[in-house]
Structure 1
């Protein structure tokens, strides 16, 4: 996690999640913002960066816009918001 911010501007940062699979390394990154009342949100749910490739039921590669839904489901299933809140509270 990388973050910047101060009393005048909200904290913003980037998060990178990565792991190994049978096919090799996989990664997913996104920008976030720390909003009032401790809310951490994606800056832009359409601007996730990844090396993952999604396939249709027929084995066809999904277009980027079709993959965005899959990527957002992955991000929302990860405990990244709690980790951001924890790290920022230690500053």
Structure 2
């Protein structure tokens, strides 16, 4: 399984920023909100399973959550920085 992060789109970056309460965020629909809560709550096995169906969203959330400067990176993608 590839662990490469797919290209993160502007809307996905905005949704993840909203989820984490960061500047530049935009509230997504209820389904995406619920999915982000599930990704946040999942253990690493669950996260990898969710990545199979939602690679961009999981990649963006892990970027914000785990990477030094990840929120700033998403803000640049979102056009908020």
Please identify the structure whose Cα radius of gyration is greater. 1
Higher strand fraction (1 or 2): 1
Fold match, TM over 0.5? no
Q: Relative contact order (C-alpha < 8 Å, sep 6+): which is higher?
A: 2
Greater share of residues in helix: 2
